[in-house]
Amino acid sequence: MLLARLRTLFFPALLASVLVQAAAFYLEFGLGLVPCPLCYSQRLFLGAFALVCLCALVHSPGRLGTRVYAALALFCATGGALLAARHVWLQGNPALSSIECQPAFDYVIESMPMVQVIKVMVIGSADCVPINWSFLDLTLPEWSLLSFVLLATLPIVRLLGRGCPLFSRAGKS
């Protein structure tokens, strides 16, 4: 029975994260949108989220292991949501369009030290400010933020599922 409950959490989370990642790759390779450094870092957190869910499915842990996997998945979703929120904030501030220009991200990866690459991937650059795509009046970073928030609900439900008054059954005592 535990295996069935475990799969009801981690399998849909894995499926959703893979679909979001596939949409990101379609936008890059199908529509020709060039991702900025914040987009790459969000993809890393999304990939880590999917990897944690896949490991949980394969491992099929007990109650404590399930909570550990859920906490790791929540960490990945929260990190991605924070980066997406920063991206939304950068695009929403027109005064930030004068952020100091960085060289192309490919050049940064090839020639600069890893500390500088991580700094650009967390803080962003001038490439992150323009709005290149929107759907239903939401920009790509807003869709990303929405995706991470929705993905974070699955581990939260798993972490709070037992012992939380919101999720306990009224008939049980």
Which residues, 6+ apart, have CB-to-CB distance to 28 below 8 Å?
Answer: 34, 35
pLDDT digits (tens, 9 = 90+) for 84-125: 888 788 777 766 555 555 556 666 666 676 676 666 666 666
**Residues linked to residue 138 through DSSP beta bridges, in sequence order:** 135
Show the domains of the chain with their CATH numbers: 2-160 (1.20.1550.10)
Residue labelled with tokens 């960490």:
75
Q: In this predicted structure, what is the pLDDT of residue 124?
A: 65
Residue labelled with tokens 């929107």:
134
Mean pLDDT of the region 125-144:
71
pLDDT score of 36 more than 90: no
Mean pLDDT of the region 133-144:
74
pLDDT digits (tens, 9 = 90+) for 46-97: 999 999 988 888 887 777 878 888 889 999 999 899 888 887 887 777 665 5
pLDDT score of 23 more than 90: no
